[in-house]
Chains A and B, each alone.
Chain A
Amino acid sequence: MRRWSLLLFVLLTACGQGPQADLQYIKQARSISAEWALVNEQANRGRLTITYVQSMRGWLHDGLETASGSLSQPHSRYGAEIRALLAEPPDAAPAELRRYAEALKQIEAEFESA
């Protein structure tokens, strides 16, 4: 049984397009928004150096731009979420960033169960 499901998975991966192909970028964007929230939360508590915070925000933003630019369906619901996330200011509230992470996680779960 497992062998057949593996074969099916291999074939689906090879033919993957659209939302399924975008899944890795959705995951990437979800992780980045959650990490951004963690960085901002620790920065607000004064536990990180300013240089590190600015640098991390820059790299995370770059990663988000790459994920957004790699989407095969940029005008989808998840594309809109990622664009909205990109528009957030560097010192966005951690709770707001976590809201994006949750929304993307939900979309991820929908695709994975489909």
Chain B
Amino acid sequence: MNPLELTLGIMTAVGGFVDISELVFAAKAGSTFGFALVWVFAFSTVGIIVFSEMSGRVAAVAKQPVFSLMRHRLGLKLGLITLIASIISNLITCAAEIGGVALILNYLTGGPYLPMVIAVTVALIASIWVLPFKWVERAYGLLGLFMVVFAVALVANHPQWHQLAGGFVPQVPDGLSTKELLTFGYFAVAIVSAVMFPYEVYFYSSGGIEEGWSPKDILTNRLTSILGMGLGSLLAISILANSAVVFGPANVNPEIPGSAALEAAIPFGKWGLILALLGMFFAVAGAAVETCLANAYSIAQFFGWKWGRHKKPWEAPRFTVTWILLFVAALGIVLTGVDVMTLVEFAVLFSILVLPLTYLPLLLLSGDRAFMGRYINGAITKTLGWFYFCVVTVAAMVALPLYFLTSGGNG
């Protein structure tokens, strides 16, 4: 297998795991609760591996994207509700990512924020228009690997390794007040949501079809899911753990994405800072591309239009117009002046509400012998799938109350 075939998973995971919401939530989680939330990342990583593998398998075997099958399986009404909910969720997320890229560009160049937002949107549209799909995923996926500097910084920041290892054991820290307990719960739910963002599955499965996957690519799909998501998780946990070491003792609760770059700057100086900012730039830009394309894929697949970046833009005109308009709509949201961090919170909250609607049809489809033949879910995948579906359903029910009770995790 060509290692470059893994880039779809790397882009999905780097853009999904270390997007703007993760940069903020992982850093805040580490500074507030030390290593105690590491297990939530590990736990959610298994969940996203299960569902991304499932969606890739459906794409490879049924050769149909998730949303097309969803409409047939759920019917027009429920399918439309799922479509509208995911469009809103992805659009808010895309706006947050565009704002995030502009912020990072501001840290790198000092250019004013709002013009940067416009420039970023134009550049993202141009990159999707010009580059073939394979190069879109390779460019954003591989350049996002600058984020590895956070994993190296973790070694240089000398954490207490035994404490970090202990963070992988599911736990609620002792001695928390009721308020702190609720804040811990809010962070746990937000991390589950941010790790299992629905757009990752839409993008990944549609990407599999863009690449022409067939049943012979089942192994590639499995490896891509495990290695890509595993790498994304490693980077997100590194950001959290660095934050526990650097920010926790300094009484800092990072509120803006630029704070995370300090984690690499403290051990490595200017070069660490620049690598961290470049990694963040490409990872968050990749996430903006993912969210926008995921939305366009969903709409085109639902209505049965021609779609895909493997086609020339004019060969799938409604799809092309859709993804451009979605970028423009996301730009419009950011230009209203709404704070990027507020958008991040809304994106995470809305995504958790959409998660059960996203994963239930996928679970049903991948367990349907009529569609999947002998590639139907095995016993382990089926058990894990239903278990994680229950988890995201409970998370969706408690997300809003926890958000209001903790003032968005600010206590």
Contacts and interface: CB of A to CB of B under 8 A. Distances in A.
B270 A49 contact: yes
Interface of B: 103, 106-110, 177-179, 182, 247, 250-256, 258-259, 261-262, 265-266, 269-270, 273-274, 277, 404-405, 407, 410-411
Q: Please name the 9 residue pairs, one residue from A and one from B, whose CB atoms are nearest each other, closest first.
A: A51-B110, A31-B253, A24-B410, A47-B269, A34-B251, A35-B252, A34-B252, A9-B178, A55-B107
Contacts of A13: 404-405
Interface residues of A, number: 34
Contacts of B265: 42, 47-48, 52
B261 A52 contact: yes
A52 B277 contact: yes
B28 to A, nearest CB: 9
B376 to A, nearest CB: 43
Instruction: Kindly name the residue among B182, B252, B258, B262 whose own CB sees the greatest number of chain A CB atoms within 10 A.
Output: B252
Contacts of A112: 177, 179
A31 B252 contact: yes
A27 B258 contact: no
Given A38-B252, A42-B262, 14 more contacts: A6-B178, A6-B182, A13-B405, A28-B410, A31-B251, A31-B253, A35-B254, A38-B262, A47-B266, A51-B109, A52-B273, A52-B277, A56-B259, A59-B103
Given A9-B182, A48-B265, A48-B270, A38 B250 contact: yes
Contacts of B103: 59
A85 interface: no
A55 B258 contact: yes
A49 B177 CA distance: 40
Contacts, number: 88
A63 interface: yes
Instruction: Kindly name the residue among A42, A48, A49, A52 whose own CB sees the greatest number of chain B CB atoms within 10 A.
Output: A52
A31 B332 CA distance: 31
Interface of A: 2, 5-6, 9-10, 13, 23-24, 27-28, 30-32, 34-35, 37-39, 42, 46-49, 51-52, 54-56, 59-60, 63, 101, 105, 112
B410 A55 contact: no
A92 B274 CA distance: 24
B107 A51 contact: yes
Contacts of A55: 106-107, 110, 258
A93 B210 CA distance: 55
A59 B110 CA distance: 12
Nearest to A63: B255
Contacts of A42: 262, 265-266
Contacts of B106: 55
A60 to B, nearest CB: 8
B107 A105 contact: no
A18 B273 CA distance: 40
A61 to B, nearest CB: 12
Nearest to B258: A56
A105 B258 contact: no
A59 B258 contact: yes
B251 A28 contact: no
A59 B256 contact: yes
B280 to A, nearest CB: 12
Contact of B255 (A2, A28, A54, A105): A28
Nearest to B255: A63
